[in-house]
Amino acid sequence: MAAASSTKKLMLAASPNKPRLSSKLVPPATIRGPPRRRKTKRFAVLATFITSKPTVLVAEKLGEAGLDLLKNFANVDCSYNLSPEELCTKISLCDALIVRSGTKVTREVFESSAGRLKVVGRAGVGIDNVDLSAATEHGCLVVNAPTANTIAAAEHGIALLTAMARKIAQADASVKAGKWQRNKYVGVSLVGKTLAVMGFGKVGTEVARRAKGLGMNVIAHDPYAQADRARAIGVELVSFEEAISTADFISLHMPLTPATSKMFNDEAFFKMKKGVRIVNVARGGVVDEEALVRALDSGIISQAALDVFTEEPPAKDSKLVLHENVTVTPHLGASTTEAQEGVAIEIAEAVIGALKGELAATAVNAPMVPAEVISELAPFVTLAEKLGGLAVQLVAGGSGVKSVKVSYASARGPDDLDTRLLRAMITKGIIEPISSVFVNLVNADFIAKQRGLRITEERIVLDGSPENPLEFIQVQIANVESKFGSAISDIGDIRVEGRVKDGKPHLTKVGSFGVDVSLEGSIILCRQVDQPGIIGKVGSLLGDNNVNVNFMSVGRIAPQKQAVMTIGVDEEPSREVLKKIGETPAIEEFVFLKL
Ligand SMILES: NC(=O)C1=CN([C@@H]2O[C@H](COP(=O)(O)OP(=O)(O)OC[C@H]3O[C@@H](n4cnc5c(N)ncnc54)[C@H](O)[C@@H]3O)[C@@H](O)[C@H]2O)C=CC1
Ligand SMILES: O=C(O)C(=O)COP(=O)(O)O
């Protein structure tokens, strides 16, 4: 990307190979479609309009209602059962990818997309099949559909619990095999037994509620859950040890993460009450499956009911699957008609929103900024990007930027001002003019860190009304030389400061000089000895060469001393014109900056 580019950029939606028209804030999307089970709260970010329809690859079966929404907005390619190689080939032609649990979205997928893939939609909850670090590094948003299948998963958990307790699957197979073994299939009762819910999130809570209805004593373990929320439904939160050592039944509902991987292993099984029964509708990977077979064989665990497996589908000769005390289903937790319709709508809306440049409430790898915050900060977001872009263009050479300090002057308390969006946009403004990377809210912090760019933030607390979120933003770049010496502040940093006036971003300070120019088009900064006639000379020079001046201001230290003239221009002056400006007597230095 050329230095000092004036191209307007977007946060999420732009694809490098698509023409862009403009970048602006839009209100939250209203998408009409079939009745929704749940009203999705939406959070908007910057949007861009792209002239051609985006392409969405749907790699696993998705409910019709969701597909219809997608088809109204994008070209939809439904290609199921792709091999990893086929997925990598196709992805370079897609702006969005929608998957369920059966597709591994690996680093290779993001690399193969060569920057085009802007959003991955996981039509469900668990995102353990998506390489989130790779997505973030590539600036690709990942969204999921976290609520629409909660009840389905909880109901499946209860179905497995009761079916296991009464050996329904085994008895069914026996009758179908022509047998009538009433004494063999004697079950156990649930009432009065203790169920330990491991992971008291959405699904775990619903399982707990239903188990209470069955007369069970329910305890739960979840290091991050609130005890009063559990108590409200008659559930006691206990330690991991207490949960597994006292329960008659254990139901797993935590996500698969590096911390939960194989947490149910030999050691854990050894601590369990002899004869305990286990249900897993979470993820196979939270259980050490070989250890589970050993625990089943030794009788520590008398039965298991499993919907999920480390490898799906499991091997045909899997000892675990074939174990006579194990009941299995092929990852059906979310598979009800209702849940699949809800999930499809939820993910389609999130993906469409993200492609429009909005940020869905279900973003997994980006800060969620509430719509009201975004709308309030909108003009400051533009200001932040432009100040970042201006500051970096003032650096001589451009590549040595390592330390940036951003100061936000506001009458608001620190908790009332969310600066993540502003920081991301300043990062974007600084990095994009000097590199070819695409920076957005998803990858801004990562890219800054990767490039060794340290951004520190400071609050300048002002008196006055907190109605206005910010008075001004100041960007300082330390330890660099400037191609415009007057941009160096009294402490030796490059400093630019801006405010929002009448809803528009303005540059109000350069170095120690007060200026006032609307941040549109391009600007010329000149330092001159303050004397009559200079403004006229430069103005006529530009006018004579068909360069329209849209704004001009002069900030001086004292009358007849040094002054900085800021000229806003609509067109880029030719080299000759810029040279002539430099040769104007009394002009000591000048710089042309693109916004
Ligand atoms: N079988 C299926 O088809 C389905 C499976 N799932 C699985 O169920 C999981 C849970 O889903 P939700 O309840 O919607 O997610 P959730 O995010 O609402 O709940 C997960 C809970 O696990 C807790 N947790 C995290 N680490 C833990 C640990 N070490 N020990 C105990 N608890 C821990 C979290 O604090 C959170 O409260 C998903 O991650 C997904 O893998 C979800 C839906 C369908
Ligand atoms: O939502 C989840 O986490 C699930 O496990 C459901 O998976 P699925 O979309 O049915 O492949």
* 3-class secondary structure per residue, 213-235: HCCCEEEEECCCCCHHHHHCCCC
Active site (annotated) includes residue 116? no
Assign 10 a pLDDT band (cuts: 50, 70, 90).
very low
Select the more confidently predicted residue: 584 or 474. 474
How many angstroms does the Cα of residue 66 sit away from the middle of ligand 2? 16
Residues with CB under 6 A from ligand 2: 100-102, 123-126, 149, 331, 333-335
Assign 41 a pLDDT band (cuts: 50, 70, 90).
very low
Q: Which of 120, 149, 252 to mutate to test the pocket of ligand 2 (most atoms within 8 A of CB)?
A: 149
Which ligand does the CA of 156 lie closest to? Answer: 1
Summarize the confidence of residues 136-142 as an average pLDDT: 92
**Annotated catalytic residue: which of 253, 331, 506, 527?**
331
Q: Which of 99, 104, 125, 252 to mutate to test the pocket of ligand 2 (most atoms within 8 A of CB)?
A: 125
Three-state secondary structure call for residue 582: helix
135: tokens are 């997505």
Active site (annotated) includes residue 253? no
Q: Which of 61, 101, 345 to mutate to test the pocket of ligand 2 (most atoms within 8 A of CB)?
A: 101
pLDDT tens-digit map of 460-484: 999 888 888 999 999 999 988 898 9
With a pLDDT cut of 90, the percent of the chain lying above it is 63
Q: Which of 127, 235, 253 to mutate to test the pocket of ligand 1 (most atoms within 8 A of CB)?
A: 253
- The phi and psi torsions of 129 (rounded to 5 degrees) equal -95, 5
pLDDT at 466: 83
Report pTM: 0.78
Asked if the model's pLDDT at residue 17 lies above 80, the reply is: no
1-5, 108-112, 217-221, 227-231: the lowest-pLDDT one: 1-5
Three-state secondary structure call for residue 249: strand
Active site (annotated) includes residue 323? no
Select the more confidently predicted residue: 517 or 166. 166
Q: Which of 38, 156, 222, 338 to mutate to test the pocket of ligand 1 (most atoms within 8 A of CB)?
A: 222
Which ligand does the CA of 281 lie closest to? Answer: 1
Q: Whose CA is nearest to atom 25 of ligand 1?
A: 254
Ligand 2 atom nearest residue 331's Cα = 10
Contact between 120 and 99 (Cβ < 8 Å):
yes
pLDDT at 359: 61
d(CA 117, CA 208): 39
Residue type present at position 248? D
Is residue 151 within 6 Å of ligand 1 at its C-beta? Answer: no
Q: Whose CA is nearest to atom 7 of ligand 2?
A: 101
Contact between 128 and 150 (Cβ < 8 Å):
no
- DSSP category for residue 359: E
How many angstroms does the Cα of residue 343 sit away from the middle of ligand 2? 10
Asked if the model's pLDDT at residue 547 lies above 50, the reply is: yes
**Annotated catalytic residue: which of 64, 85, 267, 312?**
312
Asked if the model's pLDDT at residue 44 lies above 50, the reply is: no
Contact between 117 and 301 (Cβ < 8 Å):
no
Summarize the confidence of residues 299-324 as an average pLDDT: 98
Summarize the confidence of residues 530-542 as an average pLDDT: 83
Is residue 149 within 6 Å of ligand 1 at its C-beta? Answer: yes
pLDDT at 399: 60
246: tokens are 């006292």
Q: Dihedral sign, CA of 179, 183, 189, 194?
A: negative
Contact between 555 and 564 (Cβ < 8 Å):
yes
Which ligand does the CA of 255 lie closest to? Answer: 1
Ligand 2 atom nearest residue 127's Cα = 3
Residue type present at position 256? L
pLDDT tens-digit map of 404-449: 999 999 998 877 888 888 999 999 999 988 777 788 888 888 889 8
How many angstroms does the Cα of residue 333 sit away from the middle of ligand 2? 7
Ligand 1 atom nearest residue 152's Cα = 44
How many angstroms does the Cα of residue 218 sit away from the middle of ligand 2? 25
201: tokens are 């999130």
pLDDT at 416: 82
510-514, 528-532, 569-573: the lowest-pLDDT one: 528-532
Ligand 1 atom nearest residue 281's Cα = 1
pLDDT at 40: 36
Strand intervals (E) in 438-578 = 454-461, 472-478, 494-501, 504-510, 513-518, 522-529, 549-556, 562-569
Ligand 2 atom nearest residue 343's Cα = 9
How many angstroms does the Cα of residue 203 sit away from the middle of ligand 1? 7
Q: What is the value of ipTM here, to two decimals? A: 0.99
pLDDT at 187: 98
154-158, 323-327, 350-354, 397-401: the lowest-pLDDT one: 397-401
**Annotated catalytic residue: which of 116, 138, 283, 495?**
283
pLDDT at 335: 97
Q: Dihedral sign, CA of 443, 444, 446, 452?
A: positive
Asked if the model's pLDDT at residue 572 lies above 90, the reply is: no
Select the more confidently predicted residue: 59 or 21. 59
Is residue 198 within 6 Å of ligand 1 at its C-beta? Answer: yes
Only one residue has tokens 């989130």, namely 132
pLDDT tens-digit map of 223-240: 999 899 999 999 999 999
Q: Whose CA is nearest to atom 11 of ligand 2?
A: 101
Q: What is the mean pLDDT of the chain?
A: 88
Which ligand does the CA of 254 lie closest to? Answer: 1
Select the more confidently predicted residue: 96 or 461. 96
Which ligand does the CA of 268 lie closest to? Answer: 1
Is residue 477 within 6 Å of ligand 1 at its C-beta? Answer: no
pLDDT at 33: 30
Is residue 199 within 6 Å of ligand 1 at its C-beta? Answer: yes
How many angstroms does the Cα of residue 102 sit away from the middle of ligand 2? 8
Summarize the confidence of residues 501-522 as an average pLDDT: 91
pLDDT at 557: 65
How many angstroms does the Cα of residue 257 sit away from the middle of ligand 1? 10
Asked if the model's pLDDT at residue 42 lies above 70, the reply is: no
